[in-house]
Amino acid sequence: MRFSRSATLGVAILVLASAVKAQEAPASIEDLWQIIQRQQAEIDSLRDEIRAARQDVDATSEKVAETEARVEATGEYVETMATLQSVPSKTTIGGYGELHYNNIDSDAGDSDEIDFHRFVLFFGHEFTDRVHFYSELELEHSLAGDGAPGEVELEQAYVDFTLTDQLTARAGLFLLPVGIINETHEPQTFYGVERNDVENIIVPATWWEAGGAMYGHFGNGLSWDVAVHSGLAMPTTGSSAFSVRSGRQKVAEAIASDPAYTARLRYSGVPGLELAASYQYQTDPSQIAGDGLDSGQLISAHDDFRRAGFGLRALYSSWNFNGFAVEAADADKQDGWYIEPSYRLTEKWGFYGRYEDLDGARSQDKFTQSEVGFNFWPVSGVVLKMDYRKREHTLDALSGSDFDAIDLGFGYGF
Amino acid sequence: MRNFIRLLPLLPAIAAVAATGEEAGRYIESDVYVATAFAGAPPQASTLWVSGGLRGAIEQTLGHRFAALRVRYWDDGKTSVWILDEIGKELPITIGVTVRDARITNVRVLEFRESRGWEVRYPFFTDQFHDTTLGTNGRLNRQIDGITGATLSVGAVTRIAQTALIFDDHIRNKK
């Protein structure tokens, strides 16, 4: 051992001696031994520091991985909570409303009127992925009850059964698939404070009946509807004789002796374009046998085109009734049409013109009407409207009732 | 009245059919859509955290709060695929968007559950998005024509197309 130590010392002395030869000579072997020991101590210290640093790096890596896992978990939790909050409820609420001001100038008498015409609430519920309920409850003219001008009406309450991705069955009280306005009539979706008159007098929108329906579509944009439902009960006497609109029973303890059938074919395979045609057969539009109003057929066709700001709506509807009484009253054929060009100047402003020609059952339902106006949408779902209308009655006897009107309106839908 | 009565036996059959079957409205699984977007095996999914200016831009485009903290996407350096949800009228529509060289090459509705607006599922509508880019105002450089009666569904798909382009622009510029 001593030999070994001596040999080591000897080698070290020789190495150090040559290394420090140019500087200063070692004092003694003992001094050199001290130097070596100090250097060894420094080497050991550095080795410890490196080991500690490595442990720190390992610990940091572990902490980074742990932090990443925590961030991931936090992200997932926050997103799950956000998703839970944003997932639509199975029960949904919507609605729309419209306020009208009409200033009418006529030889028969001027009038100023303001009316909250419609206040509507939608309620829907998703029973399952394939079974949905929809409803629409409306308060018309703000106030309902004895002597009040308005009504509370249940306009939709039906359940849809999705049979396949392209086929659905419907049961309940639903809007008939006829015309443009009847199914889509939220005020922000059409021009004019008042709805067009063809889809009021000839197609008595809003028009709902109760029964069953099937509808479906094809991948090329063609869709179809068929429905069997309650029929009209049109009066055959009085001031509203043979008025289609007066024949709506509104599914209120309605007579269901004689049903009606409706079918529609619709094409929307080109963006911006809708073409549709409907046919309806009323087995007895008065629900009374032998009263001179025996059956009725409605045909209605329309286009709704909107592209690059330009729009064009056009609709034609015609009734043909059979029966000696309706023919004697010259009300067996009732029809009307309108054309409505429009231009959406910006996202907020749109302008339109409309021309209507009607030949209804009552004298006051035979007229032409021209109107121009604009819509202003401050935000999507809210609309302000203004228009000017001029109505001229077909019958000379009613020329005194011709009028000019300025209408202002406000509407919303959500 | 007899006509109605004759139809009554149909009701239980209709209800029975509606009560069974697969989940309604799902047309293509997400992984299948991703796989079809790339020539070979699709890249691993990446995560984009939506924060700061990016979140502001997305929320401005959508017009409402963006619920997710991050989105998953698939990117091979040129093509990115995004699968995002947006509510049409009442229910979420799941939409896949493929972007290549800052241009939309494909938009597809993966899941649609609304009762109206089914037209947006079909190529005669979604083909309009092909080759659209982000305009200078952050919107699509081309007008998308709507569908009568499907305004809200059309709006949802259009917003998601814009959102995918903004995300793609973000990851390209970041890289």
pLDDT tens digits, residue range B11-31? Answer: 666 666 665 555 567 788 999
Q: How confident is the model at residue A13 (pLDDT cuts 50, 70, 90)?
A: low
pLDDT at A333 > cutoff 90 = yes
**What band does B3 get if pLDDT is binned at 50, 70 and 90?**
low
Give a yes or no: residue B18 inside a domain. no
* Residue B29 counted as domain residue: yes
pLDDT band at residue A2 under the 50/70/90 scheme: very low
**Average pLDDT, integer, range A218-224:** 93
* Mean pLDDT across B104-112: 96
B14: in domain: no
Q: Name the residue in chain A with its Cα closest to that of B149.
A: A184
Long-range contacts of A365-374 (CB under 8 A, 24+ apart): A365/A201, A365/A243, A365/A334, A366/A393, A366/A394, A366/A395, A367/A197, A367/A391, A367/A392, A367/A393, A367/A394, A367/A398, A368/A392, A368/A394, A369/A197, A371/A192, A373/A191, A373/A192, A373/A193, A373/A407, A374/A349, A374/A350
Residues A180, A175: Cα–Cα separation, whole Å: 12
**Pair of tokens at residue A206:** 């809003």
- Among the partner residues A130, A212, A269, nearest to B24 by beta-carbon distance: A130
- Lowest average pLDDT, out of A1-10, A169-178, A396-405, goes to A1-10
Report if residue B70 sits inside a domain. Answer: yes
- Check if the beta carbon of residue A132 is closer than 8 Å to that of residue A145: no
Highest mean pLDDT: which range of A46-50, A64-68, A115-119, B68-72: A115-119
Q: Which of A83, A164, A219 sits opposite B67 (nearest CB)?
A: A83
Domain assignment of residue B6, yes or no: no
> Mean pLDDT lowest for which of A317-321, B50-54, B90-94?
B90-94
State how many domains chain B has: 1
Domain assignment present for B90: yes
Question: Residue A411: its pLDDT value, please?
Answer: 98
pLDDT for A10 beyond 60: no
pLDDT one-digit tens code per residue, A367-412: 999 999 999 999 989 999 999 999 999 999 999 999 999 999 999 9
Q: Does B90 touch chain A (CB under 8 A)?
A: yes
By the CB < 8 Å criterion, does A89 face chain B? no
Buried b (16+ CB within 10 A) or exposed e, A261-292: bbbbebbbbbbbbbbbebebebebbbbbeebb
DSSP A385-406: EEEEEEEEESSGGGGGG-EEEE
Domain, as residue range, for B100:
23-174
- CA angle centred on A274, ends A386 and B141, rounded to 5°: 80
Query: Does residue A146 register a pLDDT over 50?
Result: yes
Residue B11 lies in a domain: no
* Tokens found for residue A60: 């940091």
Q: Which of residues 150-169 of B touch A (CB under 8 A)?
A: 150-151
Give the percent of chain A with pLDDT over 90: 81
Q: Which residues of A touch B115 (CB under 8 A)?
A: 132, 134, 160, 168
For chain B, positions 93-132, list CB contacts with chain A under 8 A: 113, 115, 118-119, 122, 124-125, 128
Question: What pLDDT sits at residue A18?
Answer: 58
Does residue A67 have a cis bond before it (omega within 30 degrees)? no
Q: Is the pLDDT of residue A129 over 90?
A: no
Using the beta-carbon criterion (under 8 Å), do B18 and A270 form an inter-chain contact? no
Q: Is residue B129, in this structure, part of any structural domain at all?
A: yes
- ipTM for the complex shown: 0.79
Q: Which helix (H) or strand (E) holds A377?
A: strand A366-379
pLDDT-based confidence at residue A258 (cuts at 50, 70, 90): very high
